[in-house]
Amino acid sequence: MTIKQQFIDGKWVHSNSNKVRNIINPFNQEVIAQVTESDESDAKSAITAARKAFDQGVWSSTPATERGQIVYKIADFIARDREELAELESLDTGKTMEESRGDMDDIAGVFRYYAEAADKDGGEIIDSPIPNSVSKVVREPVGVCGQITPWNYPLLQASWKLAPALAAGNTLIMKPSEITPLTSIKVFELIEEAGVPSGVANLVLGAGNTVGAELSVNTDVDLISFTGGIETGKKIMQAASVNVKKIALELGGKNPNVVFADADFETAVDQAMNAVFFHAGQICSAGTRLIIEESIHDEFVSALVDRVKNITLGNGFDEATQMGPLISEEHLNKVINYVEKGKKEGATIAIGGERPEDPKLQDGFFYLPTVITDCTTDMSVVQDEGFGPVITVEKFTTEEEAINLANDSIYGLAGGVWTKDIAKAERAVAKMRMGTVWINEFNLYFPHAPWGGFKQSGIGRELGKPGLDEYQETKHIFHNLKPESMNWF
Ligand SMILES: NC(=O)c1ccc[n+]([C@@H]2O[C@H](COP(=O)([O-])OP(=O)(O)OC[C@H]3O[C@@H](n4cnc5c(N)ncnc54)[C@H](O)[C@@H]3O)[C@@H](O)[C@H]2O)c1
Ligand SMILES: C[N+](C)(C)CC=O
């Protein structure tokens, strides 16, 4: 098996340690690839390359239109290699091919969006209050950017960082999750093919506490953009303080899905399932907290349970599969413990709550889609991010109670409301403390609209114009057209 390499200063190279990591298919635990395992010294080499490339101005002084054209080429190559990329993503994460193909389309869309945005900001002229002067504002790249991504949407989360950083003229070092690096490696081949100059985009592969920690603490890095868990986010924030790096954090969520009695019942049931069982619930914005109006609670739970019985678990490459495995044994154990804790706290397992018995699924990290009822807001299953195919159900009787339940969380990533009453929907979302709120929808995102969290779900925004702003410094240029002595001293 060829050992996949890191990409530093325009070259594919082995790590200094020469150590190798096996990459595992979560469906059957087969080794699907071997990658070089970077360490701090590799991260330092990549940072040096990115620093040099930035300081030489090779990319930042390339006209924005030209940068946009190169970023557009990356989008075209992703579209061209869609099937290969989707296969790598499904092998690596266990998600279905349909999901992976959808991800690749979204990813190409993100590169296109930022390619087009690259030359659209000509700065602005300020109406200066000082006579005989010109006051203008320009946007410049931040500098050297460290980018750290998680395993659940490996290339999608990478694209939200790579595309705006490149479009804005930065240099970067990306570190994908050590367990799902395959699509990121492939996209760096496409970045090279598109003609991004050497040293501008660098890829290191390896563990968070070595490579990721070096990116966070190194004073030659100007910005660190991280997507992942809240505890890692806190460590990165602390490390980044050493040189007051700019930080962008996309962290976890425990996302409420509020269903009022007047909602379109069938659609709300169907979408409540999509909200949580897509990618086996391993989605930051999964609608894991179902909050149902009491008058329809029993009927809703019963309809949900009936449909959950029919979810087909299996290999992501099998067209019949609706839900794949969890990412790893370690993560499976976390989900098992999370549900067991809920049981001890008095919640009821309406369906699921264990591993499947099907002999064909025993080599994979599968967990049954699970509905937990009799939940109260103080329970850990309601408050903690389980990150598995598990939905908890709470009841409410008044609009105010529904909103209070929805907001009762340290997180504030996303949430949804289902009702036919337009005024009620608008009242509800106005009070929900989350970065994204959906009315009669769940889990939708697109490149044009910003994404990010209130409260402990993060700092900053990705996607949309704010996603580009993260990678830009704002500079005010004041030009005195009639300089005169002040005669103050
Ligand atoms: N808000 C969002 O948009 C969003 C999107 C996807 C995932 N997530 C969150 O990601 C989490 C799941 O991902 P995960 O388990 O890979 O998260 P994680 O925090 O364990 O790891 C994420 C990345 O951080 C690296 N890392 C680990 N320790 C580090 C350290 N000390 N310093 C620097 N880097 C370090 C890892 O190697 C990995 O690349 C969930 O909480 C999920 O909600 C959030
Ligand atoms: C941001 N999103 C929804 C694509 C993936 C979250 O895990």
Looking at residue 190, its pLDDT comes to: 99
Give burial (CB, 10 Å; 0-12/13-18/19+) of 77.
Answer: buried
CA distance readout (Å), 468 to 73, 111, 187, 194, 414: 19, 12, 20, 21, 21
Partners of residue 257 on adjacent β-strands: 290, 416
List ligand 1's pocket residues with C-beta within 6 A: 148-153, 157, 175, 177-178, 207-209, 212-213, 216, 227-229, 232, 235-236, 250-253, 284, 385, 387, 413, 453, 458
Enter the tokens of residue 83.
Answer: 């099937």
Q: How far apart are CA 176 and CA 149, in angstroms?
A: 5
Question: Which CATH homologous superfamily contains domain 6-251+457-476?
Answer: Aldehyde Dehydrogenase; Chain A, domain 1 (3.40.605.10)
**What's the predicted TM-score (pTM) here?**
0.98
Which is the catalytic residue, given 37, 99, 250, 462? Answer: 250
CB atoms near residue 61 (< 10 Å): 8
Cα–Cα nearest to 282, from 387, 385, 415: 387
Q: Answer whether 287's CB lies under 8 Å from 275's CB.
A: yes
Tell me, yes or no, if the two domains 6-251+457-476 and 256-439 fold the same way: no
50 alpha-carbon distance from chain centroid = 23
What's the CA-to-centroid distance between 113 and ligand 1, angstroms? 25
Grouped pLDDT means (10 residues each) for the chain, 489 residues: 97 96 98 98 98 97 98 98 98 98 98 98 96 98 98 98 98 98 98 98 98 98 98 98 98 98 98 97 98 98 98 98 98 98 97 98 98 97 98 98 98 98 98 98 98 98 98 98 96
> Which tens digit of pLDDT belongs to each residue from 274-321?
999 999 999 999 999 999 999 999 999 999 999 999 999 999 999 999
**What are the residue boundaries of the structural domains of the chain, listed by start?**
6-251+457-476, 256-439
Backbone φ and ψ for 310, nearest 5 degrees, come out as -95, 0
Known catalytic membership, residue 250: yes
- Going 236 to 445 to 205 to 199, the CA torsion angle's sign is negative
CB 458 within 8 A of CB 233: yes
Alpha carbon nearest to ligand 2 atom 1, residue: 284
**Which residue's C-alpha comes closest to atom 39 of ligand 1?**
177
pLDDT, one tens digit per residue, over 388-414 is 999 999 999 999 999 999 999 999 999
Nearest atom within ligand 2 for CA of residue 451: 1
239 Cα nearest atom in ligand 1 = 32
- For ligand 2, the distance from its centroid to the CA atom of residue 284, given in whole angstroms, is 5
**Which residues, at least 6 apart from 331, have a Cβ–Cβ distance to it below 8 Å?**
282, 365, 387, 388
Which phi and psi angles does 480 have, rounded to 5°? Answer: -85, 115
pLDDT for the residue numbered 343 = 97
Among all bound ligands, the one having the nearest atom to the CA of 249 is 1
pLDDT of residue 270: 98
Ligand 2 contact via 445 beta carbon (within 6 Å): yes
Q: Which ligand is nearest to the CA of 156?
A: 2
**For domain 256-439, is the CATH number 3.40.309.10?**
yes
CA nearest to 410, candidates 345, 457, 443: 457
Q: In what order do the strands lie in the sheet with 11-13?
A: 11-13, 6-8, 201-203, 171-175, 144-148, 223-227, 246-250, 458-459
If you measure from the C-alpha of residue 444 to the centroid of ligand 2, how many angstroms do you get, rounded to a whole number?
9
ipTM over 0.95: yes
CA of 394 to the centre of ligand 2 (A): 24
**Counting ligands in written order, which one lies closest to the CA of residue 457?**
1
Sequence-ordered list of residues with C-beta below 8 angstroms from that of 292, at least 6 positions apart, any chain: 259, 300, 301, 393, 394, 395, 396
Neighbours of 477 (CB within 10 A): 11
